[in-house]
Amino acid sequence: MTTCTPSSIYGPVASWRLGRSLGVDLLCIDSICSFECIYCQLGKINRVTKQRDVFVSTEAVLDDLKRSEWENCDVITFSGSGEPTLAKNLGEVIEKVKELTGKPVVVLTNSTLLFVPEVRYELAKADTIYCKLDAWSDDVLRRVDRPHAGISLKSIISGIRLLRDEFDGFLAIQTMLLRRPKRFELKRFSEILYCLEPDEVQLNTPSRPVPKNYFLESRGNITESDSNSSFLKTLSKVELEGVRAKLAEFTKLPIITR
C-alpha cells in the first residue's frame, strides 16, 4: 500500500442522476483499472490490472472524509481514478462511510470483477450499483473498453447476473455508445439486457474530454478541453433517442438518456 498524496475525497459534484455527489477515490495514488476505455476521462491508465490490493488505507479515507463537505451532498459515490472494486478495502470503507455520514452509497463499477464472490459481498453493502456494459460482442469489448487479458464479455455478463441475484438494492446498467448499433447488434444487446434484469439502463455518449495522460482533476465533471485533450465523435441526440426507443421496445425495461 502506498500513501495517498491527493485527497481520496472530491466534490461534491453535480450529477444528472444523483444530485450532489461526493466522490470517494480508493485508487488515487495513480490511475488503476482493468479497462483502458478509449473514452476515459482520466486519460491514460497507468496500471492496467485485475489484481486487488489496498491502495489507500481506510483510515486515510475517513480522515479525508471528515475534512470534506459531506454534509452538503445527497449521495456518496465510489468511483475516482479507475475501477473501485480493485480496492480490497472497498467493503470496509463503504461500511465506515455509512456509519459516519448516514448518506446513501453508490458504486460505479466496470463489472470486470463481479464474478469474484468477495467483490459481490462487498458491493452488496452499497445502496445503488451502476454496472458498466458497453459491449454486445467481444470484438466491441476489445475495441471500446480494451480490457486486461482474460476479461471477456461472457465473464462480465455472468458477473452482473450473479450480482443481480444477490443484491437487493437498485442496480442499473450504464452503457457508453460511440456509434449507432446495427439492428442485429441491438437485438443481441437487448437479449443480454433482458436476461440481466436491471432496474434501469442508462445510455450515454462520451461528452467529456479525453486527456493524453492521467489527469486526476478529471474525477469531477470537467467538460472543458485543452491542447492535451480531445473529444470523440459520437452519436447525435436524435440518434441516441432512436437507440433508446428500440432498446425499450425490445426489452420492456426502463431505458433512459441524459
Strand partners, 82: 32
Instruction: State the alpha helices, DSSP H only, in the chain.
Output: 58-66, 90-101, 117-123, 138-140, 153-166, 183-196, 237-251
CB 42 within 8 A of CB 81: yes
Q: What are phi and psi of 4, to 5 degrees?
A: -90, 120
Rounded distance between C-alpha atoms, residue 44 and residue 82, angstroms? 10
Burial of 258 (0-12, 13-18, 19+ CB in 10 A): exposed
Q: Cα(65)–Cα(37) distance, rounded to whole angstroms? A: 29
What stretch of H or E contains 131? Answer: strand 128-132
pLDDT at residue number 218:
83
Q: What is the architecture, at CATH level 2, of domain 9-257?
A: Alpha-Beta Barrel (3.20)
Q: What's the predicted TM-score (pTM) here?
A: 0.94
pLDDT, position 208: 81
Cis peptide before 181 (omega within 30 of 0): no
* Contact indicator for 33, 131 with CB cutoff of 8 Å: no
Q: What are the per-10-residue average pLDDT scores of the chain (258 residues)?
A: 75 90 96 97 95 97 96 96 98 98 98 98 98 97 96 98 98 96 96 98 91 86 62 90 97 95
d(CA 207, CA 224): 10
Please tell me the predicted confidence (pLDDT) of residue 194. Answer: 97
Confidence at residue 42, expressed as pLDDT on a 0 to 100 scale: 93
> Can you read off the three cell numbers belonging to residue 157?
455478463
Angle (nearest 5°) at CA 113 between 234 and 66? 85
3-state per-residue secondary structure call for 132-159: ECCCCCHHHHHHHHCECCCCCHHHHHHH
What are the sequence ranges of the domains in the chain? 9-257
